[in-house]
Amino acid sequence: MDEEFDIQSLINRYEQMQLIGKKIYFDADEFAVLADYYNSLGDNEQAEEVIEEGLRMHPASPDLMILKAKTLVFSELYDEALSYLNNIPDEGNIELWLLRIESLLHLEKTEEANEVISETMNKELSIDDLYVFITEVGYVMNDIDNFDRAISYLEESLKIDESNPDVLIDLAYANEMKGDFAQAIEYNNRLLDIDPYSFEGWVNMGKLYSMNEEFNKAIDAFDFALTINENDVSALKMKALSLYLNDNAPEAIRIFEECIRISPDDESLYDSLLEGYEAMEQYDEMSRVIDIKEKRFGPKGIATRRAFVELLKDNLPEAWELYNNIPVDEKESLDYHMLEGELMFIDNNLRAAEAAYMKAALLSEDNEEIIDRLANVNVAQEKYEQAAAYLEQLLELDPKYPTAKSRLAFIRFEIGTKEPFDEIMEQFSDDELRALLHVISGNEDSDFSGFNRQKMLIRLNEARENRVLFKNIKY
């Protein structure tokens, strides 16, 4: 209580000095306490003023100089921070070394940063200082997206203190960014062991399970989160997405409808609902949602949406009419270019279709649907080299993208790839070969369950010779 009273007394004295405009003496430690106080309130500007005032009274105070360097680093003025740090005497202060390392890393002076790290690690640090040092270096490595080194330092930190939630959060994040969702889930589980009623923890667990394609577990995690915060729209949306990915579009739609009742001004909810109804081929419901969206948000983009629905209903004359009447100021949108590409492709105007998809690609980088369309339109134009490049890009983004692997195998053979066809087919499992046979047969009722691997390869080779794949795949 006395300490709290002293801090409040200090704050009152400082704010009185500001009010009357008369200098009052504070020692360097008092300025440091004041700066920490204002930083804790998020008032960084006031904290910086305190530090500057303190340095005017105590220009040689190492503590205040380090606080000044921290403000420069916080403001991402790394060159200035590095120059300023060179003026601070090195008295074995870990914060000084960490600020120098952070500045060097952000300036991409990795070798110099590594030298400082190595020099520090070779010092005789106490266990507490070592813990602080490796933990903070781990955080900085995460900040610069060097996830491997972040994990290395933070795992060492965890050996000293296994219950630091911030370390567990950063380890979960680093593993997530590396695509190791199973490991990220393990660290997030340890966080929930510490705080089993953490809403954010359960939401993050749901996200991780969903990214790891464990959709049932993801749904359970979101349900736990929603018992803590029942009507949180963000958690409901993520649960609905997991349901959708788990082939439960009806339940996903029900939740999106519920979200709209809770948050009717969230425009993204209407778009998600449209995707759900599209997956279920409920085109009249799509039209209903589009009408509601137009009434609430206005006509922008509505004609394009309606044209897509008519296209899905195979009502080409109506789709073309809507397309031709789209306002000029809406003709540079992603949806417009995708609609144009679809219509031009159906009309066999392949060059125009490719141009439209290219414009869409400029607006949405690494969009799998667009890359897939570009591969298709290049196959249709017999531009196999370019089609293969798009399919390779698609498989880099999603190794499980439907039929992409098989299409690429056929295209590589078609364009004279050196690997024999049989060698390419050896990359496929038996189940994948059966799935490919279903695609090229053009008959969903075909039964290939009795085919052994050799028989499947013979049938696929016959299909290759006759280019059946290109005839039966719907581009």
**Which of 240, 273, 298 delimits the end of a domain?**
298
**Can you give the CATH number for the domain in which 219 is found?**
1.25.40.10
Domain-embedded: residue 38 = yes
User: Where does a domain end: 279, 298, 317?
Assistant: 298
In a domain, 131, yes or no: no
Structural contact between residues 104 and 112, judged by C-beta atoms closer than 8 angstroms: yes
Q: What pLDDT shows up at residue 413?
A: 66
pLDDT value of position 474: 42
Query: Is 165 inside any structural domain?
Result: no
Rounded to the nearest 10 degrees, the angle between the axes of helix 368-380 and helix 404-414 is: 30
In a domain, 284, yes or no: yes
In whole angstroms, give the CA distance from residue 174 to residue 140.
Answer: 12
pLDDT of residue 466: 67
Query: How many domains would you assign to the chain?
Result: 3
What is the predicted pLDDT for the residue at 473?
44
Q: Which amino acid is at 85?
A: L
Within a domain: residue 251?
A: yes
Q: How far apart are CA 475 and CA 380, in angstroms?
A: 8
Q: Determine, yes or no, domain membership for 128.
A: no
pLDDT tens for the chain, 475 residues: list them.
344 447 788 888 877 787 777 777 788 888 888 887 877 777 778 888 888 888 888 888 878 888 888 888 888 889 988 888 888 877 778 888 999 999 999 999 999 999 999 999 998 889 999 999 999 999 999 999 999 999 999 999 999 999 899 999 999 999 999 999 999 999 999 999 999 999 999 999 999 999 999 999 999 999 999 999 998 999 999 999 999 999 899 999 999 999 999 999 999 999 999 999 998 899 999 999 999 999 999 999 999 999 999 999 999 999 999 999 999 999 999 999 999 999 999 999 999 999 999 999 999 999 999 999 999 999 999 898 899 899 989 989 988 887 788 788 777 766 655 455 666 677 778 887 887 787 677 666 678 888 888 888 888 777 766 655 444 444 3
Instruction: Give the range of the structural domain holding residue 475, as residue numbers without chain letter.
Output: 397-475
Of 254, 277, 298, the position where a domain reaches its end is 298
- Report how far residue 312's alpha carbon sits from residue 279's, in angstroms, rounded to the nearest whole number: 11
Asked whether the CA dihedral 298, 304, 309, 314 is positive or negative, the reply is positive
> Is 326 within the bounds of a domain?
no
Which residue is associated with the tokens 């909810």?
A: 269
The pLDDT, as a whole number, for residue 23 is 78
